[in-house]
Amino acid sequence: MGDGKAVEDELRTPARDLRHAIPAVYAGFARLHDAALRPGALDAKTKELIALAIAVSEGGDGCIAAHARGAALRGATLEDAAEAIGVAILMDGGPGTVYGPRAYAAFHEFHAEDQTRPAGQAGRAAATERKVPA
């Protein structure tokens, strides 16, 4: 099983099919997603790291992939991701030690991809850029 891009690829077609079947639900979720991750008292990077930690605790590979990518795009470091995942392991116990490494591997994958962007673009995602399976 892949940890990042492979999970996104696996979910792309079924997510697209479901989004077409229930567009109002997906539109509502997109608005909620954008509002929750919009910078405020917490910056977008911190919010993505929180979401990544919750994804580890919930054991959701799709959410792990999405928020590992989101955190990497918003400039999180490997150390940031490791510490957020460590908090998830604290709160979740044993299951966190299964999904934590998956999340860290997914973050590594997206962090490496982000580091190959041209100078000035690494860690700077457009406010509306989201990598939700299409």
Provide the residue ranges of all domains of the chain, joining segments of one domain with +.
5-115
* 1.20.1290.10, 3.90.1300.10, 3.40.50.300, 3.40.630.40: CATH of 5-115: 1.20.1290.10
pLDDT digits (tens, 9 = 90+) for 7-21: 888 888 998 999 999
**Dist CA 86 CA 30 (whole Å):** 28
pLDDT digits (tens, 9 = 90+) for 96-116: 888 899 899 899 999 988 777
The per-residue pLDDT for 129 is 44
pTM for the model: 0.77
SS3 66: helix
Residue 52: pLDDT above 50? yes
**Helices and strands (H, E) in the chain, number of each type:** 6, 0
